[in-house]
Structure formats: structure tokens, C-alpha cells
Amino acid sequence: MNQSSQNFTTDLRIAFVQARWHADIIEQAGKGFAAEISRSTNGTGRIDVFDLPGAFEIPLQARMLAKTGRYDAIAGCAFVVDGGIYRHEFVAQTVLDALMQAQMETDTPMLSIVLTPHHFHESEKHQTFFMEHFKVKGAEAAEACMQVLETRERIRAAA
């Protein structure tokens, strides 16, 4: 990294907005995200965690956080499962669309770890699988976050 990127990562502040449904699984994404941000910033990146009841509440909170100007990026995390009423796909798509809209309105990068499995059952096997899966997805979102922010920093430096 060049000098401006080093300064950038030193001052990095990210909001991690998470739904509390299936909190044990969601928390794994937060751990994966935090570990990767820490690695990428040599431990200087700051992550503020915000808990919400469910996925549907994430976009409004993310937009409100972006409007404060305190955050370089915002990650939203939820596990939207089919509860038997077939609205999980609608909820997940609505959250993603609203995060994209909030991102465009605020010029603050928004990352999604809002995932909808094809099948999920409250069995130990599924719990274990999705806990590991979310940890990986959290790390991948953090990698994407750093790439987006580093590109943004290069654009600002070139202006």
C-alpha cells in the first residue's frame, strides 16, 4: 500500500448492522468480517456493531448511519430463511434493493451478507454448516469492503 492507503486504513471505521434472527449463525459472519478487517488494517480498523430485530430493518439503519458521515462503509448481515410462508425471497430482495438505494443516495459503500438458503432446518448438521458458511461469507465481504474502499481512495487521490 502507498502512504495514503496506510493513513486510510488507520482511520477506517465500518458499521456492521446485523439482524438477530439466528444470532448464533449471524455472529459467525461478524467474526469472519472482523478478523479480515483486522488483518487488512493491521488491527487499526474500527467496526461498530448494531443489532436489529430482523433483516427488514437493516436498510433504514444503514442509511441513517451513512448520513452521519462517520462510516467509510456499512455491512448488513442477515439469515433470511423460509419459515413456511414464502416471503423470505421477497424480504431478502427488498433488503438488497434498499441497501443499493441507500448506497447510491449516501455515496457510502454498502455490503451485503444477507443470505437466503434454499433449504434450512433446525438440525445440528445445518446449524454447523451455516455457521461455517457465514464465517467465510463475512471474511469475503470484508475483502470486498477493503477492495471497494481502496479503489475509492485511489479515485479521491487522483482527483
Task: Find residue 47's DSSP bridge partners.
Answer: 14
Distance from C-alpha of 120 to C-alpha of 146, rounded to nearest angstrom: 31
Strands (E) located in the chain: 13-19, 46-52, 73-79, 110-115
User: Which positions are annotated as active-site residues?
Assistant: 87
Distance from C-alpha of 34 to C-alpha of 28, rounded to nearest angstrom: 10
